[in-house]
Amino acid sequence: MSEVGGELLGKPGVQVLPQPGAPDLPKDLSGDAWLIADAESGDVLAAKNAHWRLAPASTLKMLFADTLLPKFPKEQRHKVVPADLEGMGEGSSQVGLKEDSTYSVEELWLGVFLRSGNDAVHVLSAMNGGVQQTVKDMQAHAEELRANDTHVVTPDGYDADGQVSSAYDLTLFARSGLQKQDFRKYCSTATAQFPGEERKDGKRETFGIQNTNRLLTGQGVPFYKGIAGVKNGSTTNAGNTFTGVAQHGDRKLLVTVMNPETKEPNEVYKEAAHLLDWGFEATGHVKPVGTLVAPLNAAGKDGGQSGGKAGDKAQASVAGSSGSGGGGMWTAVGITGASVVALAAAAYVVHRRWPLPDLGKRRNDRP
């Protein structure tokens, strides 16, 4: 396996370095791969098969969103034509877009994040020049993030030969996406009203949609305190996958679980919740087994060429740039995607934190 982020992350099996006072890892973890990390420092607290290349399912939509979100203003509107919806896999999850109906970009993103709508993914891909161009853009962005385990074949995560990612890479995608205000808003939205088909009389009704992230909605499993996204997935080849982010106090943790062998209902969410519980309790009582690396444009020449050898711990650091959050939800202590580009040359150093805005709680929203 790859050693990006540290030598231990390239070893198979569970990797954890407990110190005095550390709690035991949960005993019921059955995922083929998983990872729990501090979202700001990038410290990986524990992992299993972090760089195993596995089918990602719809968790790959995090990379899709992180790649395309900056390209279209959310107020932009697009009329769906038949060609936009071509090529979706059989049985794809859909939000219910209708041909000859017009949607805002914001509505399309709500369809992606809440309903994991492959129809919304394909429409946004069409706006971006088509599926193949979007796949190319996603692969380039994955390489920029140093997500070297990822090979993109479809933009929506639908099963395809050769399409793989890893628990490590999915966590990188989430961490990068969470720097973007709109990404944070969409992935934390629990319910929303979505526009229906445009009728000839000009009337257009709406219908309710609910996020498929069950830790966010509390459907089938308890709502997880402090949860604020990110994305779940499920396909025949991938099984169930999930990446989540949660905040308790000032501590923000990222967790990824891929394909639990235990086939109980909602198992991926249960294992993710147990890992989050452990991570919050273990903070300060475990030695990191690796780190989430900074992007190439932020890591500097040494970080870009290190290849993830042991000791490669380039981290992002910005002293808290100004910003705004929708409806007062976000505390302006983080950085935006735009400032990442502007400050990359000077603001990223080794062993420093990558601040995130306060993540808050789930939200119910309207487009």
Band the pLDDT of 355: cuts 50, 70, 90.
Answer: low
Query: With pLDDT > 90 as the criterion, what percentage of the chain qualifies?
Result: 76
Pairing state between β 189-195 and 363-364: parallel
Closest of 264, 303, 31 to residue 166, by C-alpha:
31
**pLDDT tens readout for residues 143-183:** 999 999 999 999 999 999 999 999 999 999 999 999 999 99
Question: The tokens 């396909």 sit on which residue?
Answer: 235
Fold of the domain built from segment(s) 11-292: Beta-lactamase (3.40.710)
Q: What's the pLDDT score for residue 298?
A: 77
In the chain, what are the domain boundaries?
Answer: 11-292
**pLDDT tens readout for residues 249-277:** 999 999 999 999 999 999 999 999 999 99
Q: Which residues contact 359 (CB under 8 A, 6 or more apart)?
A: 178, 184, 188, 226, 228, 229, 245, 246, 247, 252
Q: What's the pLDDT score for residue 299?
A: 55
Residue 39: beta bridge partners?
none
**Cα torsion for 116, 146, 341, 179, to the nearest 10°?**
40
In this predicted structure, the answer to whether residue 305 has a pLDDT above a threshold of 50 is: no
DSSP annotation of 31 reads E
Closest of 65, 208, 58, 89 to residue 142, by C-alpha:
65
Please give the Cα distance from 231 to 256 (Å, whole number). 10
Please give the Cα distance from 335 to 355 (Å, whole number). 7
Active site residues: 58, 61, 116
